[in-house]
Amino acid sequence: MKDVLNIVYYKILIFLKVNSPFNFSAFVKSVGSGIVYSIFAYGCFIMTSNTIEYLLVNVKIGSFLLHRFVLVVLFIFFIAINVGNMVVSFSTLYKSKEVFHLITKPISFTKLFLIKFLDNFFYSSTTLLLIITAVLLGYGFYFNLSFWFYPFALFLLILPFMFTAGSAGVIILLIVLRLSGKWGIKKVLITVGLIYVISVISFYFISNPIKLVERVFDYYPNIDQYFGFLESGLVKYLPNYWIAESLYWISENKIDRAIPFVYANLITSIFVFGITLFLAKIWYYETWLTSLKVNAELKNKRNKNKQFFGFHKDSLLNGFDESIVKREFLLFFREPSQWLHLLVMIFLITIFISSISGIDIIILKAYNEYLKTLVYLIVSLFNVFLVASLSLRFVFPLISLEGEALWKIRSAPINFNDLLLKRLIIYFVLIFFIGQLISFFSNFQFPVMLSIVAQINAALTTVTLISLNFGMGGIFANYKEKNAIRLASSQGASITFLFTLLYLVMIIVILFIPVSNYFYAIEHGIDISIWNLLSTSLVLLVFAIIISSFSIRFGLKSFTKDY
């Protein structure tokens, strides 16, 4: 334990030394970051309490269904943490320079694993914990819960839940690398991917939130009661069910009924973390050696890709454009964390589309326009959030990844702005195409008018978010960090993510009244013009022009300033 504390102590000193330079620019950035965090936390608090009030008072879904929606959100949250932690841990546990340095020192592999695991978990969870804390404050404020609820929910419900998801992700990573030495990385990854797909599909079959809503509304208007008897018994073994159930009984002031679920959540997190440390003790060094072998195999495949897409091959592009495209392609696939993370995000997007596209708006015809509006807004926000995640992960680090080659580029007789813009266009085309596919497949079940407007709005929000991440990536550029995942988890990325969430709130405000009026007109047989919906697109177009012009300008300017 002394070794662990010693390394943690020096990591804190390094963090304070590197991240706290005493100059006016850093001071302004720190103060500005604090203001942004505070404003966002307050906005998140207000939005949470207002959303709960809207669902319970206007939509009248009842407390039980509210917490069942929380259950579904927590499942998505669990999968995102689990898969994300697995990908990020591969970079931090097996590829970081710190591991290569410490693994040669007289420190056990288990302690080294523990240090990097905790470092990775808390480094990437700071902003997430801020959001969760603000959400809990809004939740507790609406239900008028006592002060004890907030530390109780954060430390005994949410953190153990996140720890279980993160630990499970690392366990899967250890198993993948362990089996890769025998079966090969390709076969193992395909098998694990199939297991994830089956698990997600099984969850939606077991929980079936749409059918649960229908069954509960069979009791309308007496829906403000407990309907646990309508659920499958299998869902009760999932950690996200324990959290949702605990919150439900706490909001009903029946703490004694929440205690068993809190206890199960804590015991499970301790048990899963214990298994993680045990597997690390027997497998970490062996899997570290396996990772070297896997990297060598991937390098051989990259050499084949170079022959297929090498610089010696002719193309229709001119020499400058051809070098940029091929450079991005080769650098992207040279780093496993890049293309693996892209595959993971595409997998999550596929799961989202397959689950959300099954929602048929016709089944909501017996309910009011508020519920229809809510469904449409949730689908739209998830679309934007997925595009925002892709932009944050692949566009925000774009400028910083030039690294030490910055000075070579600065001293070369080329147009810097042209270089960066063409690099940006490559990622823009990819993300824009994915964003349009997400919007199409998740909105085609809605009326034609809404689908058309959704497609237009998706294009405008994609342009805005890509530009925002490009500009913020330039403002918070860090040319010493080579790990794209850590760049996407840095303080600058966190602030960008907060601005993105504020943009999501703005989208809700813009869409709510026109969409609500549209469903009201449909229900009452009133003719409504598509121009009422296109007014939202005009507002988003203005924001796209303003944000994009300023963001791209800041991004380009940051690349040419002196450091």
Helices (H), 444-483: 448-475
Q: Which amino acid is located at 116 in the chain?
A: K
pLDDT of residue 361: 46
Q: What is the rounded average pLDDT of the residues 86-110?
A: 80
Report the C-alpha gap between 19 and 268 in whole angstroms.
36
Question: Residue 201 to residues 208, 342, 355, 437, 500: CA-CA distances in angstroms?
Answer: 10, 21, 8, 21, 29
pLDDT band of 442, cuts 50, 70, 90: confident
Whether residue 308 has pLDDT greater than 60: no
pLDDT of residue 187: 78
pLDDT of residue 273: 92
First to last CA, the chain: 40
pLDDT of residue 362: 44
Higher pLDDT, 245 or 371: 245
Whether residue 365 has pLDDT greater than 50: no
Angle at Cα 446 formed by Cα 445 and Cα 451, nearest 5°?
A: 105
Cβ neighbours of residue 276 under 8 Å, at least 6 residues apart? Answer: 117, 167, 170, 171, 174
Burial 95-133 (b: 16+ CB within 10 A, else e): bbeebeebeeeeeebbbbbbbbbebbbeebbebbebbbb
pLDDT band of 378, cuts 50, 70, 90: confident
pLDDT of residue 354: 63
pLDDT band of 527, cuts 50, 70, 90: confident
Higher pLDDT, 121 or 132: 132
Cβ neighbours of residue 269 under 8 Å, at least 6 residues apart? Answer: 160, 161, 163, 164, 167
Whether residue 511 has pLDDT greater than 80: yes
Q: How is the chain split into domains, by residue range?
A: 1-6+44-299, 317-563
pLDDT band of 264, cuts 50, 70, 90: very high
List, for residues 313-348, the tens digit of each pLDDT value: 565 555 566 677 777 776 776 666 666 667 767 776
List, for residues 179-204, the tens digit of each pLDDT value: 887 787 777 877 877 787 778 777 77
Q: What is the mean pLDDT of the chain?
A: 78
Whether residue 513 has pLDDT greater than 60: yes
Whether residue 413 has pLDDT greater than 60: yes
Report the C-alpha gap between 119 and 124 in whole angstroms.
8
